[in-house]
Structure 1
Amino acid sequence: MTTPRTLVLWDIDHTLMNTAGVGRRAYADAFEVVASRPLEQVADMAGRTDWAITVDTLRMHGIEASTDLLRTFGDALARAFVTYESAVRENGRVLRGAREALEALAGRDDVVQSVLTGNMEPIAIGKLAAFDLGRFMDLRVGAFGMDHEDRAELVRLAQRRATDIYGQPFGRDNTVLVGDTRHDVQAGHLGGARVVAVATGASDRRTLLDAGAELVLDDLSDTPTVIRAILTPADR
């Protein structure tokens, strides 16, 4: 008999790691390649998809984002990130307790874990690889920032991918999103997941609770507490 599984979806930036501002530098490089002029400003990045950030950033500069332009910008962004991979390893860091939490969940038969991130897939995989975190996850299940503009749709996409691979339906009762912004909380609820928030990014505890997070942790440093928070349904 197949063990019922919980789908755990991790945000990356400021939940699992800090990448020392590499994202903004990659956007600046990609914009200059695509638009042939310097980047003046970048849209709000916290908890948003690369798709949404790119559309808003282009519009801030008077450029309408067509499907072809989005694809071109995404390719330029992925290439730009490659030049910063060593900077991620040298200047970035895994946040306290993140590796231990991932490893603890990876050892369980009743858990499938992956990422739900605003980063486009090659950038997400590059960030995880920089700190050897991808080995704890099934990245086939992950949902990424160029898969859809709306982060809530990424939750549904990850659930469908997990169902296709594991032959089990995933919905609100057995999906948990772990993230650090109000956008993560909202996406989880709209997409059909319980949310465990961590106050390790720009959003403080009060902001995350007001956004509707079922539970807010200060960080991931206490592994048993983190695992209980993720795997214990909110009504128990």
Structure 2
Amino acid sequence: MPHLVLWDIDHTLIDTRGVGHELSAAAFEEATGQPMRQQAKIDGITEAVIFRETAKLHGLNTDRADFERFAAALTAQHIHHATELRERGHALPGAAAALQALAAANVRQTVVTGNVRGVAEIKLGIFGLDTHIQWEGGAYGDDADLRPALVELALSRSSAAAVDVALIGDTPADVEGGIAAGVRVIAVATGRSSIEELRTAGANSVIQDLTDVDALVKYVTAGSM
């Protein structure tokens, strides 16, 4: 059976080392006219929800048009600060090798991410991780609010009805989104969640990071371990 991987991005493939937060703050102020004094929870959450909940913390009620202004500003900020993102951020250990090894094993790869699509493309492109990503089959933070809906959308866009699918992510929200959509989840403890927390969330497999490429390919192509 053909295989498909749905990759999360932040803290799974890359780490922006704080640049992402700074660019979000700049985009928030551009979209709302108010400085971002604090930010809502971000781990595993889509940009649409982060923006809405952050706006509430500032006493603002926002609509889709407000979010679209924010998304456009955020994409522009990433384009403008691409050099800074490249210098301060980094691809996580094993990420490039994992993408290459899965491609060599004829595994299709796309993304399910809370990032808006423009930002997702910039982030992976900056760190040279975009070569094997089938962008049209992915789902993004400007498509839906919740992870399960994003996974379902990616499955539809990737025509994955007769495909063995594995989602790879670093948060309990990634795990829950995959389970709700009926796909296997390989969790990596490269973010703020521990191996035990990811196991408790229900991941089919949990690994410390992406450096053991052979094991990752085995998990993806041989099913749940």
TM-score, normalization by structure 1 = 0.91
AA of the residue aligned to 2:183: A
- Counterparts of 2:134 and 2:110, CA distance in 1: 5
Please list every run of at least 4 consecutive aligned residues from structure 1 whose deviation after the TM superposition is greater than 6 angstroms: none
Deviations 1:121-157 (A, max 9, x none): 0100001110111111211111111111111111111
1:108 Cα offset (Å): 2.8
Choose from 92, 117, 121 the match for 2:117.
121
Structure 2 equivalent of residue 222 of structure 1 = 212
Query: 8 Å contact 1:155–1:192 — kept in the other structure?
Result: no
Structure 1 equivalent of residue 142 of structure 2 = 146
Q: Report sequence identity in percent.
A: 38
- Counterparts of 1:17 and 1:170, CA distance in 2: 30
Q: Which secondary structure state, in structure 1, belongs to the residue aligned with residue 167 of structure 2?
A: strand
Deviations 1:84-121 (A, max 9, x none): 21112111111111111100111233x21111111100
Structure 1 equivalent of residue 194 of structure 2 = 204
Structure 1 equivalent of residue 69 of structure 2 = 72
- Counterparts of 1:143 and 1:179, CA distance in 2: 14
The number of residue pairs the alignment matches comes to 225
1:158 Cα offset (Å): 0.6
- Counterparts of 2:146 and 2:72, CA distance in 1: 20
- Counterparts of 1:170 and 1:54, CA distance in 2: 36
Q: Superposed, which structure 2 residues align to 1:12-91 within 5 Å?
A: 12-91=9-88
1:23 Cα offset (Å): 1.7
Q: Superposed, which structure 2 residues align to 1:147-162 within 5 Å?
A: 147-162=143-158
Q: Which secondary structure state, in structure 2, belongs to the residue aligned with residue 101 of structure 1?
A: helix
1:170 Cα offset (Å): 4.9
| RMSD value, Cα | 1.3
TM-score, normalization by structure 2 = 0.96
Deviations 1:195-222 (A, max 9, x none): 0000010000111011111111011111
Q: Which runs of 5+ in 2 are unaligned?
A: none
Structure 2 equivalent of residue 11 of structure 1 = 8
Q: Which runs of 5+ in 1 are unaligned?
A: none
AA of the residue aligned to 1:136: H
Structure 2 equivalent of residue 169 of structure 1 = 161
Deviations 1:169-206 (A, max 9, x none): 257xx111000011110111112211000001000011
Q: Which secondary structure state, in structure 2, belongs to the residue aligned with residue 103 of structure 1?
A: helix
Q: Which secondary structure state, in structure 1, belongs to the residue aligned with residue 39 of structure 2?
A: coil
Structure 2 equivalent of residue 181 of structure 1 = 171
Query: 8 Å contact 2:3–2:220 — kept in the other structure?
Result: no
